[in-house]
Structure 1
């Protein structure tokens, strides 16, 4: 199983490198390098600070959700735990979907919490992070639509339609799932119990759990989700922290353009950053390559005369270089420390 995961990660990174090669060729390697050389180091430093502020905000959201679930975790610990979560997301295919099980293990080890509670916490945070992203994207699109004619920008029209569809579809599906959560829970138990026992029976040094034990853990996961969803104060705090984190990411993109001497409307960043994040569900590690490509396409579709191919790609390299590599390096250190502690325990 571990060998298969490693192979999927390696193939994912090879795919990401291929996408980057095409993207850099599209921008013109010479022009791209020249543009990056012009970047102001001080402004690039502000992009890194915006990235750290984003990590801090989403760490606060995680800490808030864990507090609702009765798990006490200090802010410094939550910051490093969330960095570890981003590391696992950034090196596994399909973004959060691929990294959540590893993240739940990290939380359970750092906060001395049950695994199902930790999984419910990170799943809740990832779900809550979706709400402000779509709301902000809609606000940015509607504001920008007052200044340009969207009908002349096909890619922006498609992006806006995608945002509207997601804004309607996802909450609707969430509402239906919430209303039928007990029936959904029964189906999850019946579907996952045989699969978990089959995997455990073939994995070395892992005891085969009983059917009752698996059912209790799955029930614990759903009860934890229910506790988060029925806590208005906790939801409000987590959503507020999430929204501020998104704003920091958008500010980071805006500053990335300023670093190379180009000014774009903040409303454009409000529109393209959340849409680009959706590309994180691609089978590339952390969406690397896919997110950058979507951002470049949307930026070039916008009526920004000063934004050429090389400028768009250069700004995205600065922005994504901070957003991807800062948490990856921090989180990699956290994961290495946890692995070392477990091996010496």
Structure 2
């Protein structure tokens, strides 16, 4: 992609996200939201930023475990720089590992062919962490009488079981290639007849290319599955911490959100980061607020404020950390080259 097209893509993504935010603010009522923000207690709200620092730290530690390296300041700065690129550019979480791997290579000397498989597994562990946290939250809500959420809890349970089964298959040296080709062929023969895109994505050649790209990641899993288990545990911890700003913000507002509600609403909203919009701007806030209203029975204006404040902690604050890390590394590189 040319530089001009790349810049246009970034601008278009940002404008789309900001438009979604503007429409949401117009729907809720900007004056009402502003008045609610003025009521925030700054002390419990500030605890959300502390929780996010712990969450980012857990995710970084998960990656160092997979890389088999000791955590260091340089590595942390490189990781934050990669996260900064992933959050800022309209690539979605799927392409995020590439940016993080490149950043880790250029700052720490770790080869890309070693960093990329680890970052891919770290991203997969992050998805598992969000699913496990959402499963825990939905299970608590169902146990508390919200039986209508049973299908949602079951969906998270199936996703978690599927991820663990895939890990077990890699560790047990199951012929994953054969299974993948079989499933793809079945989809190609059914849904592929209705959609040309599905047919192309599930062709034997496309599946073979995809499996080839993950060969190194699969080798890493087979060689030391304990690393993957520890990384997954750190990712679960990270996601639990990422949900805390919803609780601290709601406490600051005087409109409590139960931890179980946060455990469902925050991970579900993050699924929009799969879309190529910078940080899921706009859509994530809408889904968060809807989750607080639907699951927690929160007033819409209060839910909107909580959603914006949660994103201030989990997106804009992380963006600030990543931008600072990028500046520090650029300054170091400039001083070293002079």
TM > 0.5:
yes
Are 2:83 and 1:82 aligned? no
CA-atom RMSD in angstroms: 2.9
Are 2:99 and 1:105 aligned? no
- 1:184-203, aligned counterparts within 5 Å? 191=209
Counterpart of 2:258 in structure 1 is 265
Query: Quick one: structure 1 residues 292 and 162, their matched pair in 2 at CA, closer, same or farther if it must change by over 3 Å?
Result: farther
The CA distance in 2 between the partners of 1:131 and 1:230, in whole Å, is 20
Counterpart of 1:318 in structure 2 is 309
- 1:299-314, aligned counterparts within 5 Å? 299-304=292-297, 307-314=298-305
Asked if the contact 2:142–2:150 (Cα under 8 Å) also holds between the matched residues in 1, the reply is no
Cα deviation per residue 1:91-119 (whole Å; 9 max; x = unaligned)? Answer: 12242223332221101012201112111
TM-score (norm 2): 0.81
Cα deviation per residue 1:302-336 (whole Å; 9 max; x = unaligned)? Answer: 252xx111100101111111110122112123334
Cα deviation per residue 1:125-179 (whole Å; 9 max; x = unaligned)? Answer: 111112222122112111111223343xxxx567546534534555566777874
Asked if the contact 2:244–2:259 (Cα under 8 Å) also holds between the matched residues in 1, the reply is yes
Asked if the contact 1:92–1:98 (Cα under 8 Å) also holds between the matched residues in 2, the reply is no
Asked if the contact 2:28–2:304 (Cα under 8 Å) also holds between the matched residues in 1, the reply is yes
The CA distance in 1 between the partners of 2:221 and 2:327, in whole Å, is 30
Counterpart of 2:120 in structure 1 is 123
Cα deviation per residue 1:61-94 (whole Å; 9 max; x = unaligned)? Answer: 1111111xxxx34333333222222211111224
Counterpart of 2:236 in structure 1 is 243
> Where does structure 2 lack aligned partners over 5 or more consecutive residues?
182-203
Counterpart of 1:27 in structure 2 is 28
The CA distance in 1 between the partners of 2:225 and 2:324, in whole Å, is 35
Q: CA deviation at 1:182?
A: 6.1
Q: CA deviation at 1:339?
A: 4.6
Q: CA deviation at 1:301?
A: 1.1
**Partner SS, residue 119 of structure 2:** helix
Query: Quick one: structure 1 residues 81 and 187, their matched pair in 2 at CA, closer, same or farther if it must change by over 3 Å?
Result: farther
The CA distance in 2 between the partners of 1:312 and 1:246, in whole Å, is 20
TM-score (norm 1): 0.79
Counterpart of 2:224 in structure 1 is 231
Asked if the contact 1:93–1:286 (Cα under 8 Å) also holds between the matched residues in 2, the reply is yes
Asked if the contact 2:61–2:71 (Cα under 8 Å) also holds between the matched residues in 1, the reply is no
Counterpart of 1:163 in structure 2 is 156
Query: Quick one: structure 1 residues 26 and 250, their matched pair in 2 at CA, closer, same or farther if it must change by over 3 Å?
Result: same
Are 2:146 and 1:149 aligned? yes
The CA distance in 2 between the partners of 1:76 and 1:99, in whole Å, is 21
Counterpart of 1:197 in structure 2 is none
The CA distance in 2 between the partners of 1:294 and 1:94, in whole Å, is 20
Query: Quick one: structure 1 residues 170 and 242, their matched pair in 2 at CA, closer, same or farther if it must change by over 3 Å?
Result: closer
> Where does structure 1 lack aligned partners over 5 or more consecutive residues?
193-217
The CA distance in 1 between the partners of 2:157 and 2:229, in whole Å, is 23
Q: CA deviation at 1:4?
A: 2.0
The CA distance in 2 between the partners of 1:182 and 1:147, in whole Å, is 42
